[in-house]
Chains A and B, each alone.
Chain A
Amino acid sequence: MIGRAIAELAAGPKTPEAIDAFFATHKFPIVDGNAITVVWRGGAEAVHLKHWVFGLPSSQQLARVDGTDVWHLTLQLPFGSRVEYKLEVVRNGHGEWMQDPLNPNIAHDPFGGNSVVHGTGYVAPSWIQHDPTVASGKLDEVTFDSPTFGRRGFGVYVPARFLQSRRYPLLIVHDGHDYMRYASLGTILDNLIARLEISDVIVVLTSSPDRLREYADDERHAKFLTEELVPFVERVFPIDARPQTRCLMGASFGAVAALSTASRYPGFYGRLLLQSGSFAFTDIGDRNHRGPLFDPVVAFMNRFRADPAPVSERVFVSVGMYESLIYENRSIVPLLQSTGMDVRYVEARDGHNWENWRDRLREGLSWLMPGPFLHVYE
Chain B
Amino acid sequence: MSTVVLLGPQGETPDIGPALAEHGIAGKVALITAGLQDRESDDAALVAALGGVSAVNLKLHARAADVFDKDPELAAAYQARQLRFRNIQSFYRVRLEKADEAARMISVRYVEPELLEQEDRVSVDQLRQLDVDHLDRCIAIRQAYEARWNRDRPAIAGHRAELASELETCNAIVIAGGHVASLFNRIRLFDVLGLAAGKPVFAWSAGAMVLADRIVLFHDYPPYGSDIAQVLDAGFGLAPRVVVLPDPKRRIRMDDKAGIARFARRMLPASCVAMDHGARLVFEDGMCTRAVAVRLGIDGSIAQSGAA
Contact = CB atoms under 8 A, between A and B. Distances in A.
A374 B177 contact: no
Contacts of B35: 376, 378
Interface in A339-378: 342, 344, 346, 362-364, 366-367, 370, 372-378
B222 A372 contact: no
Nearest to A376: B179
Contacts of B223: 192, 195, 197, 362-363, 366-367, 373
Interface string B12-37: 00000000000000000000000110
B172 interface: no
Nearest to A346: B225
Contacts of A367: 223-225
20 contacts: A363-B223, A363-B225, A364-B224, A366-B223, A367-B224, A373-B222, A373-B223, A374-B217, A374-B227, A375-B180, A375-B181, A375-B182, A375-B206, A376-B179, A377-B178, A377-B180, A377-B206, A377-B209, A378-B178, A378-B205
Contacts of A363: 223-225
Nearest to A161: B38
B217 A375 contact: yes
B206 A376 contact: yes
Given A363-B223, A370-B224, A374-B217, 18 more contacts: A364-B224, A366-B224, A372-B179, A373-B219, A373-B222, A374-B227, A375-B179, A375-B180, A375-B181, A375-B182, A375-B206, A376-B178, A377-B209, A377-B246, A378-B35, A378-B177, A378-B205, A378-B206
Contacts of A195: 223
Contacts of B219: 373-374
A280 to B, nearest CB: 28
Shortest Cβ-Cβ A-B pairs, 9 listed: A367-B224, A366-B223, A377-B205, A377-B206, A378-B177, A197-B223, A377-B246, A366-B224, A377-B177
Contacts of A377: 9, 177-178, 180, 205-206, 209, 246-247
A181 B247 CA distance: 37
A125 B227 CA distance: 21
Contacts of A342: 94
Give the most central of A344, A364, A378: most B CB within 10 Å: A378
A217 to B, nearest CB: 29
A162 to B, nearest CB: 13
Contacts of A366: 222-224
The number of chain B residues touching the other chain, given as a range, is 20 to 34
Interface of B: 9, 35-36, 94, 176-182, 205-206, 209, 217, 219, 222-225, 227, 232, 246-247
Interface in A188-222: 192, 195, 197
B31 to A, nearest CB: 15
Contacts of B217: 374-375
Nearest to B65: A165
A22 B301 CA distance: 54
Interface in A170-189: none
Contacts of B94: 342
A16 to B, nearest CB: 51
A169 to B, nearest CB: 12
Contacts of A372: 179
B244 to A, nearest CB: 9
Nearest to B209: A377
A329 to B, nearest CB: 18
A70 B213 CA distance: 71
B179 to A, nearest CB: 5
Nearest to A370: B224
A270 B88 CA distance: 16
Interface in A92-134: none
A288 B246 CA distance: 54
Contacts of B227: 374
Contact of A344 (B182, B206, B224): B224
Contacts of A344: 224-225
A374 B222 contact: yes
Contacts of A373: 219, 222-223
B15 to A, nearest CB: 15
A325 to B, nearest CB: 22
Nearest to B90: A244
A312 B217 CA distance: 26
Contacts of A197: 223
A375 B180 CA distance: 6
Contacts of B36: 378
Nearest to A192: B223
Contacts of B209: 377
Contacts of A364: 224
A107 to B, nearest CB: 23
A346 B226 CA distance: 12
A376 B176 CA distance: 11
A47 B294 CA distance: 61
Contacts of B176: 378
Contacts of A370: 224
A344 B222 CA distance: 14
Contact of B9 (A346, A362, A378): A378
A247 to B, nearest CB: 14
Contacts of A375: 179-182, 206, 217, 232
Contacts of B180: 375-377
A195 B250 CA distance: 14
A378 B33 CA distance: 10
B238 to A, nearest CB: 17
A274 B231 CA distance: 31
B224 to A, nearest CB: 4
B208 to A, nearest CB: 8
Nearest to A371: B223
A346 B9 CA distance: 34
A197 B223 CA distance: 7
